Structure formats: structure tokens, C-alpha cells
Chain A
């Protein structure tokens, strides 16, 4: 089997400081093969000189430069990371650099939210003819990093971590617990109860996805109901997870057609699944209900969302300052703090994470066949619930959900450690709205945000 990971892994490890405490910055450059690498080559063959601080890693295209590479470089001790490729319009693979640019826009906002110094991540277009630009870019980046010094906070991630009961100060995490309202029972003679029974008995659906009450504490438990007699057990919780997560299970996907008791959260999540070709809208019957559990009628998932939007006050888009309560207000307060404070806040949150992956399990859209965190050839990130491992997991989770997360709050509700996961997702939702005017889950016909691009996407931050 090919040892594909070796050069990258070794180079990244080479980025870690040979001399602890050395002031010389260590830089890692991820460059595309066709333009920037050729440009760097030109600089070399032209006998141009530039600082030796940079380790250059060649990849086929900026589109191949996964965000995980960048995070990994920082975790391995890089003080600055440069990503560079072909100018817009010049991509050897037509549009890899446009797609990369979308990711950079989102990544910068994510890193900014958690308080990473954005000067540490430099993005540039450098063509094969621009040997001089390569030299100038490296020169300037090295000079700037020399001024900033080693990236101490990042390098202290491991050292600052205390694996035992972490927090010493006993402060609450500043994020109100989600309200625990009582579930609403689905009566057999209610319009919803009648519609469910009729659909199941007539064979219009083979099963119903809904909620039951757990015996011991009455907590909601997702259920797949096949027997009409069991419909009496159904309840509708105001919050508590998202039924669309059940589509991660092959045995549920095999049941077609299937009925889903659909609140706004389920409708939005199913729309994303349809958009990503993970769900066939023709095989799902959505029993739309509003927040109070009133039946709004049968539809496909997009139709259900329309019914719910018509019946409930529609949710305003995630503009900054659009709401003064809840998540958005918490995000506003966070973003009003200096970068160092944001970093301190998130490091405190990352200390709490026990890596139980309840957030991943509860999320309807965290549906990778094999999670990046579970892959070990190569071992991308530490599996330990320690500083670097938790930092990587929280960022990867938020990034992989950017433009996909529908804000149902299942992750945060599931988190036994009380981490305000929703804040990171909210930051990404706002970023997605601000830069692309996009809200996930609204339009199942739209192209998924991260696999799409526009030639006029923001670019002013790229050299």
C-alpha cells in the first residue's frame, strides 16, 4: 500500500522547533504544483534569495489543501502558514482555487472567532512566472512573523492542558442552558395522530420516525415506529435532537417510503440531506408540525418547511445584531472581546471536552462515513481529549458544518461537558450569510456552499 502520508507527516514534524525557545519563526507553505511551486522553482533557478524559514509542501492544487493540513501545521509548531496557488482563472483543474478561496473565507472567520491571530495565516496567488512575488511574499511573511515572535499560545496548547477536572475557577460558561419544556403527547384522535395512523395503515409509509418518552425520566428518545398500535407512545418535544440524524443508519435509509414527524429543525436538516444527495425527497413523507406540535399537513421536506414558515414566525437571517437574545447575543458579546480573550474563552471550553463525540452522534449532518478524527492512516489529530486533540476536533467539526449546520442545537444539547458548541456554529452561520448570502437548509435545489463558488467571491485578503 502506498505510504502517501509520509512526506507530509515528516515535513510537518520537521516544522516543530529544533531549538526550543528559538526566536526564528518556522513557516510552512502549502503550494499548488502548477503555479506557486513552479514560481518558487523559478525564484531558485533565477538565483533569487529569501529566508530559509519556510518548509514548502507541494500539492496538486489549492483545492486539495485541506483545512486539516493548515490546522495540523499549526499544531506541529508552525508559527505561520502560507497557502498559495494559481491566480483566479488560471487553475490547472479549472476551478480548484475558487473552491479553495471559499474555504479560506470560512476558515479565516472560524479562526478569528476562536481568537487565532489571522496574520499567522497568509494566502496568496503566485503564478509560475512570479518568482519575484514568491520571494517578496516569503520575505515579508518571515519579517512579519519575526516581529510577532513564536506563536506561543498555539504551542502551549499541550502544555497548558490539565487532564484532570479542568476548571479551577468554577465560573459558568456564560451560555444559558437550553430551556427544558415538556413534550407534547400525540393523541390518537388529534389531526396528527389520525394522519399518522392512516398513513401507516394504508401503507403510504412503512414506518414513522418520531419521539417516544423514555420510561425513567421521560426524556425524549428517537423511535422508528412500524406498528400502528405503538403510535400512542409518540410525543413531540419542543427541542431535543433532530430526527433527521436517524438517516445516518443504513437500516433506516432502507425503509421507503418513510414518514418523519417534521419540525423546523427536521425540515431544514432533511433539505440539506436532499441537497447533498443523501436523501431521496420522493421517499420521505414529512408530517409537518409547528413549534407547539400542531399538525400542518403532509408534504415532502421542502414543502414541510414552507408550511412551517407560513405557520410560525419566520426566523430572521443571522445578521450581526439581528437578535439581542440567546445565541446571537452571546456571539455578539464574544466577538466584542479582544482576540486574546476569545482565545482564552475557547481554550477553556476545549479543556472541558471529553471527546465522547455526543455532538457528532446527535448531529443530523455530521454524517461522514468515517470521521476524520477516527482515521489513523495517517493519524491526523490526537485522539486524546487533550489540548491539541480537542482544539482540532472543535475546529474540524465547526468547519465541516460551515454552510451545512442548520442551527438545531442538537450538538450543544447533547454535550455532557456543557461546551457552547452552538456559538461556533452560529459564528459560521453568520459568516456564511455575510459573505455568501446563504442560509443552509432553505433551498434543497441550491448547490452545497462548500462545493460551489462564484468568481466574484471575496478576495481582498489574498495577496
Chain B
């Protein structure tokens, strides 16, 4: 299961490496631990730190471990051994305007978790597919590689909150860990190695420890009994089925009513892996860090705009339960839970996950449908996430220089970025619709689409509005300054499949940049496409972005650009005025937009975007529509397009969920089991209809 890359074992014990099992007394256990410590391995073991309170501690001496073995489950899981609560990902040095970055230490000390229960030892295996999903988190993987488990079998549940057997974890740990310790009736421990690493660990046991092995038949019978002691409380398949069926039910509100929106459940959990990326500077030195985060925090998914896809405790608790018992299994064929029960024991509000699961089991439909992911598509097909080639660190950005910048609208700016290393720039490629994370190094990263076209080589562009901590820091940068870029991430618009079709682009406000990349690409391949129509609107003419390009597009005869700005309110403050909002902008027929006669001489209108879409009277046959803008605009535009005969499968949009990693690991951007960063950001309206209403 794990490979211990350690060469510190003494030569005389290496010779005895064939030992695969032995019987140990308590004293023998202590001697074994002493020998392991002498081999310079870090050992974490349960220690009873106060009456009734056991915690994992790093052992400096032997005695506490032996006394702590078997005395209840440690309050927190040993998760920090593979996923520390804060981990440096990147070192940042800032000298004046010059910025340099370096990988942190990627060598981790060999660690043994001694006396872990099977529910803790099962966790890294569960997380491996997530941290290795297309891109490899070298921090998790290296830590795990240097990790060995000496597991202590459970003979009975610690208390009523244990439910490992319900999630497929064997409390006797029969095939678990590198070494399995089973406490025998006479107080001795039967130690069995399950892996070569385990054999290596057993090899350091002093030779005088030898006692009769337990009778295999008796051992098997005992294990059967111990398994039976841990009652199976629910069927995880039935729970997954019920979660699908009861997403919108009011019970979530009841179940989460007492929640205090803290992160205790996630932080004590061995499998909760969601994290935040943060940067902090101290003088000229700084770090990018991976910090524990929790879906139960209100801030977790909140956008800078204030919009929050999961605004209340009920939707956040629902996310936690769904993530563990439905989304993660749909994605990685493993339950994201080992049944340790810590969240039930430690929740300061007394939330009861097990009771919820038992209730879900009871709610399950009689005939379970086969587990079907909400979307069945190959994630990021064909293109691995981009990363600088000289580092295994997926959180390390390319360094980019700002070659030019342009003010687009109040607070909106476009940056043209060139690779600091021209070699990297030469190799860099992306597809239209992909996004990246742009880092004001020392302040953090922000997610935007790549607003330029892949046909423009040697640079990329991004357009953003200064709104939060990072975007304001990006705005403070000037030409020649350095920033970080990670990408390209996500899927893309199927521009190849659109060949020969008419294209209708619909954008609102800051929603044009994602479409600009597609539009520029299609205009560069103009002959491949039919009619190109662009409907773009903003609150006022000042808020329109890419004014220079709009002026060029307006003059082109091989495309039809229609611009609009919002109606102005009536003088009495109620309702909307039929007058033009600004000079030169002609109102459309607000009550029947389709009745408006448009002509090519007048391309500027007073209208809301969905109204102008209706007024344009787009032809739905052999056409696709590409829509991006604020959620309310998208909603009404899709309605308008339906009326014009566009089927939902021909309407494309790009979702802007809050993201931190961009790599499918931080657990933030998902809608149901769909990770927007990997399976999005481009979706059809039909696909969005099928996603849970969680955004």
C-alpha cells in the first residue's frame, strides 16, 4: 500500500527482513518502538493527554504510546501527516518590483503512524485519486509515500458514533496498514506485516521476542465476532440513491438548524480534503500556502461580488453529506468517509451525521438507479493542465511580464502578459474558453478566462474588474511588473464542431472577455463559420469593455454587432423610460422587442440584453449561441433563445464559480459531482439544467 523510502534501518536488522509476523508483549512493544525511534523515523501515536482525551502526538519517548494504545480514538485524525493544516507551496521573494519564486522543501521525513485505527489508516488511500486526478499534488503524494501505518485492530466500537462497517472499512484491519497489531486475550499483540515496508518495520524487533502465534482458526473466529460487534447502520448505495432523490427536501434545514458554521467536522475528519490557497508576505519574503478549509464556512464559496452559491447552513451541510456519500463516489468510486465518527463526537452544535445517514437510508427509493454522474464527459480531454516544466509543483505558476495594459471601463483593465521565460511561452498553447489563475504574487490568485485567442501567439490577455484583494493588487501593477499565471485549465468551446454553423454571441458587462477569445478565433477562421452575430450590452456606454475592438467590429460587414445599454429609470423613479438612455442609443420596442426594426446603420440600442436578442430575431437552424454575463442576464437570455427556437443543447455558456486551485482538488467549485474547473467552465444550457440547483 505504501512505500517507505527510507534507508536508515540498521544493516543487522535488514538481514532479518523476512519476518512477517510475531507476538509481542507490552514490554516488547516498547522495545520495538525504541528501535523504530532509533532508526530516525518520526512516530505519531495516540497518547492519553488527559483523562478521557487521546490525541496523536509525536513520540520522543516510548512510554506514552504503549499506555495510549487502545484508549479510545484520538480526538483528531492523523490527517496532518498527509495533509497538514497549513503547508507552504511556494516561496516568494520580492525586491522592489522584481519577484522571484522557488519551490519549498519537497522532502518529507519518513513517518510512522503507530496505533492508528483502521478508519484512520484507510484515509490516504481514499484521497489518492483526488490528489492524483490528472495532475499530481506532489505534496500529498510525497508525504504519503513516506508514510507507514502500524494499525491497531478494533475489537469493538469505541462508542455509538463508530460506523466503519457501514462504509466498507473493516474494523479488524485484516488487510489494512503496513503492520497490523491485534491485541490478544493475554494482553500480547499479534503483529502481522502486510507490505514489504511492514516487514522492514517488523525486522527491527529485538530477536528475544518470540511467543506462540495465535491459532489461525481462533483468530478468524475472533475477527468475525469483532466485525459483528460493529453494527452496520446503513447501506451506502441506498444513501447515495436517497441523496439524489431528496436534494431539495426541507429536512436539510432541520438537520443543519443547530450548525454554527465552524469547520470542526471537516478539520477532525480523516478524509475531508478541501483547502484554501493563501499568500502572505513578511517583508520581502512570502509564502503561498495550502490551508485547511471547510464547506461549512460561509466564506468557502462566496464570490467577491457577495453572491454565494451556498448561502445558508442547510445548503452547506447538504454539500458536506453529498460530497462524502454521493459526489465523491460518483467521481472516484470511493466513499469519502471512513466511519470514524469524529464529526459526531466533536461537533460543537451536536449535528448528527450518522442519524442523517440512517434517515437517508430509510428514505431510499425501493429500486435504486445505477449510479450515474450528472455529466458523463471526459474531463479536460486531451490536454493536461499546463505547468512549468521544470518543477513537479502544480501550484507553481509561470512568471509573466505585463507587456501592455489598457483601461476598458471604470475599474476594468486588460493586461497583456508575456512569458518571462520565452521558451515556456513558445511551448504554451491553449484552447478557446480555457481559464487560468492570475497571481499578484504575495496577495493571492484570481480566476479569469484567457481573453485572447490562441491564434495570437507569444502572449495572453486577461480582463478583470478590480473588486477584491487580489484584483486590486493586480490593478496596482504596471507595465514591466511580474505576475504569476497558472493554466490553461478547464475545457473549451467546441469550435471545431461549430464549423459551418451560424454563431450568435451574447454578452453582458464583464461577460464579454470569455467570448472575445472565441470570437477572435472565429474571426481569424472566418471562412469556417456562417453568419456571426454579436449582442453585447452593459449598464452604460462607459461600462462597455473592448471599446476599440467594438468600433472595429461595428464596421465589419462579415459580422453583425449589436450593442445595448440599460434603460434609464423614469423621472418619478418608477418603471423604465422609453427614452434613449444616452445620445446616439435608440430605444427598441420594449413591449414587443421582436417588432423592432433593426437596420445596419444603427447598431446602438437602449435595451436589456435578452430583449435585444429577441429584436435581433436570430435564426436557430444550424446555429449555436454562446452566452456569458451576470446570472440574471443568462437566465432571461436562455428564455429568449428558447422562444427563438434554440434548443438548450445549442446554447453554450461559461460558469464562473469560485475557484482556488483550478485543478479539481480544493473542492470549492463543484456543482453536484461536476467540478467546474475541470469539467467546465464551458457547459451547454442543457447540461446546466441537469446539474443540482446548487449555484
Contact = CB atoms under 8 A, between A and B. Distances in A.
A418 B344 CA distance: 17
B500 interface: no
Given A163-B80, A222-B350, A384-B291, A245 B260 contact: yes
A376 interface: yes
A158 interface: yes
Interface in A415-449: 416-418
Contacts of B47: 170
Interface string B504-548: 000000000000000000000000000000000000000000000
Contact of A376 (B257, B263, B344, B469): B469
Q: B57, B276, B282, B472: which has the most chain A beta carbons within 10 Å?
A: B282
A78 to B, nearest CB: 12
A182 to B, nearest CB: 15
Contacts of A170: 47, 49, 57, 59-60, 64
A358 B264 contact: yes
Given A165-B58, A216-B352, A360 B51 contact: no
A240 B53 CA distance: 17
Given A177-B53, A217-B160, A221-B352, A164 B84 contact: yes
Interface string A60-81: 0000000000000000110000
Interface in A356-404: 356-358, 360-362, 374, 376-379, 382-386
Contacts of B86: 163, 384-386
Contact of A418 (B55, B84, B161, B443): B55
A220 interface: yes
A129 interface: no
A385 B85 contact: yes
Given A168-B58, A382-B280, A416 B289 contact: no
Contact of A177 (B50, B276, B341): B50
B350 A214 contact: yes
A58 interface: no
A223 B257 contact: yes
Nearest to B285: A16
Interface string A147-168: 0000000000010000111011
B438 interface: no
Nearest to A384: B86
A13 interface: yes
Contacts of A356: 262-264, 266-267, 294
A254 to B, nearest CB: 14
Contacts of A76: 282-283
Nearest to A411: B348
A416 B343 CA distance: 10
A169 interface: yes
Contacts of A16: 282-283
A361 B346 CA distance: 13
Contact of A384 (B159, B278, B469): B278
B659 interface: no
Interface in B326-354: 341, 344-352, 354
B81 interface: yes
Interface in A316-372: 354-358, 360-362
B268 interface: yes
A175 to B, nearest CB: 8
Contacts of B358: 215
B185 to A, nearest CB: 29
B294 A362 contact: no
Contacts of A17: 283
Contacts of B58: 164-165, 167-168
The size class of the interface chain B forms with chain A is: 35 or more
Which of the listed residues A163, A217, A378 has the most CB atoms from chain B within 10 Å of its own CB?
A217
Contacts of A189: none
Contact of B161 (A173, A217, A386): A217
Contacts of A18: 283
Contact of A169 (B60, B294, B297): B60
A230 to B, nearest CB: 11
A223 B341 CA distance: 22
Interface residues of A, number: 58
A414 B58 CA distance: 24
Nearest to A379: B469
Contacts of B344: 214, 216-217, 219
B55 to A, nearest CB: 7
B299 interface: yes
Contacts of A358: 260, 262-264, 348
Contacts of A414: 260, 262, 264, 348
A164 B264 CA distance: 17
Main secondary structure of the interface of A (DSSP, over half): loop
A357 B262 contact: yes
B469 A377 contact: yes
A357 B297 CA distance: 9
A45 interface: no
B435 interface: no
A77 B283 CA distance: 9
Contacts of B282: 13, 16, 76-77, 158
B56 interface: yes
Contacts of B280: 379, 382, 384
Contacts of B76: 354, 416-417
A165 B80 contact: yes
Given A163-B80, A382-B280, A385-B85, A222 B57 contact: no
B384 interface: no
A266 interface: no
B57 A173 contact: no
Contacts of B347: 219
Nearest to B74: A165
A222 B294 CA distance: 22
A226 to B, nearest CB: 11
Contacts of A374: 299
B52 interface: yes
Highest count of chain B CB atoms <10 Å: which of A76, A170, A383: A170
Given A216-B160, A217-B159, A385 B469 contact: no
B142 interface: no
A378 B469 contact: yes
B429 to A, nearest CB: 34
Contact of A214 (B56, B355, B411): B355
A172 interface: yes
A259 B385 CA distance: 56
A246 to B, nearest CB: 8
Contacts of B292: 354-355, 385
Contacts of B161: 216-217
A163 B276 CA distance: 15
A241 interface: yes
B97 to A, nearest CB: 14
A377 B350 contact: no
Contacts of A354: 76, 85, 263, 267, 292
B348 A413 contact: yes
B16 interface: no
Interface in B262-287: 262-264, 266-268, 276, 278, 280-283
A164 B53 contact: no
A105 B257 CA distance: 39
B348 A164 contact: no
Closest 7 CB pairs of A and B: A361-B260, A414-B348, A221-B350, A16-B283, A361-B262, A215-B355, A384-B86
13 contacts: A1-B411, A16-B282, A77-B283, A170-B59, A172-B49, A214-B350, A217-B345, A222-B350, A224-B257, A357-B297, A362-B262, A362-B349, A417-B76
Given A214-B352, A385-B292, 15 more contacts: A170-B47, A171-B49, A173-B49, A177-B51, A177-B53, A215-B354, A216-B352, A216-B355, A222-B350, A354-B292, A360-B262, A377-B468, A384-B85, A414-B348, A418-B55
Interface of A: 1, 3, 13, 16-18, 76-77, 158, 163-165, 167-173, 176-177, 214-217, 219-224, 240-241, 245, 354-358, 360-362, 374, 376-379, 382-386, 410, 413-414, 416-418
